[in-house]
Amino acid sequence: MSTPTLTTATRRALELARRLARTRAAQAVLVKAKPGLVRVRRTWRRSLQLRMVTITVFASAVLVSGFGYLMAARNNDALVERAREDASVKLNRGADYLTQQLRDWTNGQDAGTDEEVEKFLAPLASSPQQGGGVIVAVKLSKATLSPNLRGTVAYPDPDFRAVEAAITPELEHKVADEGMVAHQVVTVGDRTFLVYGRPVPMRWSYQQIELYYLVPLNTEVGVAEDFRATIGIVGTALVLLLTILVVLVTRLVTQPVRLAAQTAQRLSAGLLDQRMDVRGEDELALLADAFNHMAGSLQQQIVRLEEMSRLQRRFTSDVSHELRTPLTTVRMAADLLHSQRSGFDPAVARSAELLQTELDRFEELLTDLLEVSRFDAGFAMLDGEPTDLVALMRRVIDRLNTVALRAGVEVSLSTPEPPVVAEIDGRRVERILRNLIDNAIDHGQGRPVVVTLGFDAQAVAITVRDHGMGMKPGEEKLVFNRFWRADPSRARQTGGTGLGLSISVEDARLHGGWLEASSPGPGQGAQFRLTLPVRAGARLTGSPLPLEPTDTGDEAKVPAQLVKTEVRA
């Protein structure tokens, strides 16, 4: 009893295996064909000429095919209709002639009836008055004539099988049983006939002869085939002509557009002397002329802006260098006054201290201007070497300890177990960290600042999180602009020239790294993230630390890999 169940289960398993095999084969075919389909799709989307040619060829092929089909059908119907009308006239004449000849018959059983019928058929098949040019056949389904005429008698075609096959049972039923005049087109072998039939009544009651005219349509079929072939050739030639015409027309349109795109690319690459050729006076020539005018105007504007920028950089560099000499002299005098301030009056001593402080700020501004001029001139160079970032971060925080104490800000440092080594320019990275931490202290409003170090195999990242005034949406990008301040009217207690963060972002780019800013909102502080590659020249793909702040209160959440925390006040 278990054998049928096992057989059914086996069949189901085999069918499932076949379906899986077909599915896997289809998936393999799709996988192999996917690159080709992607290339075709890319080419289709990028080539206007290909789309125009394809659409035109498809539309013209559909229209020409439909028109050719209608023309061929109308021609074929006209040929068949003409043959049908001719056959109908001939059949009526033949039926009248045969009716007159059968009037003298008594019962059709006399000897020699078959010879008589053949005598009747000969003039029907050959006489123009009675028909002519056709194959005449009679069937005696409803007559009791000679037994020799029970089948089909045809004249002049000796191929009785073809004649019998052409007179189908359906046609014979309509003519013999229903007494109708009917016709149909029949193909027997390589021959096509229009078969027309009608009953011919005999003198004695309820007996008749079925008369059929078979009109060969081979000539009409040949004419129709020649017509279809001609339509096909003409349609194909028309589609090819339209294709060539569309290719030429679209090329006339797309070539200037392509040249305009190439010229625009060259202009964007800095080749400002590139222009388009203007030919003729049509719309494309107007487009090329307008494009050339635009390119010339842009070239003039760019040259003017470059000259202004060059003059500005030169002015900044010259002024910075020229100020060095008087600044050195003033610095020497200020240092002398500051060292002797204890013997001055309190007001004069205070003035000496203010002079020393402002000279420090002025010297810092001058240094920043010189650095900016180097970046603008493209003379900034990277001097990278393996450096321990943990020691560098401690050194920066130690140097800013006095500033933090004066502002009442607690600076905490979270790092992995040292050392964390990367190929960097220590001087530039130290300047970045000094600017970031000094900025956090300045905007922290007396709240803690958290400095975090993270790393992976490709990159190192340092975040500086403060909990002060924060930033409005959109200010994350503006904060790196030169001389930009979130609140220009706010009194500042520390340095701040407005150039520190802009110089820092240039230093980060020089390393191939990122310097980014984020803020949950006004009053919720901000976080800056510096990401640098571990190896000089490597390309960054991600950062070990998140840009968005992860803390919800005044204390930062230390990532899992950061195991050491130091607090500096």
Q: What one-character-per-residue DSSP string does 494-533 give?
A: S---S-HHHHHHHHHHHTT-EEEEE-SSTTS-EEEEEEEE
Burial category of 410 from C-beta neighbours within 10 Å (exposed 0-12, middle 13-18, buried 19 and up):
middle
Res 492: pLDDT: 47
State residue 285's pLDDT score: 80
Q: How far apart are CA 276 and CA 256, in angstroms?
A: 8
| Adjacent-strand bridge partners of 191 | 188
List every span in the chain annotated with CATH 3.30.565.10: 382-488+495-568
Residue 153's DSSP bridge partners are 138
- The C-alpha atoms of residue 18 and residue 352 are separated, in whole angstroms, by 96
| pLDDT score for 103 | 66
Interval 509-534 mean pLDDT: 88
Look up the CATH superfamily of 382-488+495-568.
Histidine kinase-like ATPase, C-terminal domain (3.30.565.10)
Q: What CATH number does the domain located at 274-380 have?
A: 1.10.287.130
Start and end residues for every CATH 1.10.287.130 domain found in the chain: 274-380
Whether the pLDDT of residue 494 is over 50: the answer is: no
C-alpha span between 463 and 453 (Å, rounded):
7
pLDDT of amino acid 485: 65
Give the lowest-confidence range in 63-67, 89-93, 340-344. Answer: 89-93
Beta bridge pairs of residue 211 = 138, 198
Q: Class of 97-223 per CATH?
A: alpha beta
Nearest to 236 by CA among 65, 73, 71: 65
With tokens 């398993």, the residue in question is: 13
Q: What is the pLDDT of residue 119?
A: 65
pLDDT at 284 over 50: yes
Helix (H, G, I), strand (E, B) or coil at 55: helix
Higher-scoring residue by pLDDT: 326, 145: 326
Q: Quick one: three-class SS letters along 237-280? A: HHHHHHHHHHHHHHHHHHHHHHHHHHHHHHHHCCCCCCCCCCCC
Residue span(s) of the chain under CATH 3.30.450 come to 97-223
Decide if 90 contacts 209 (C-beta within 8 A).
no
Q: Which two tokens stand for residue 286?
A: 């107007």
pLDDT for res 106 = 53
Q: How does pLDDT run across 458-473, given as a tens digit for each residue?
A: 899 999 999 888 888 8
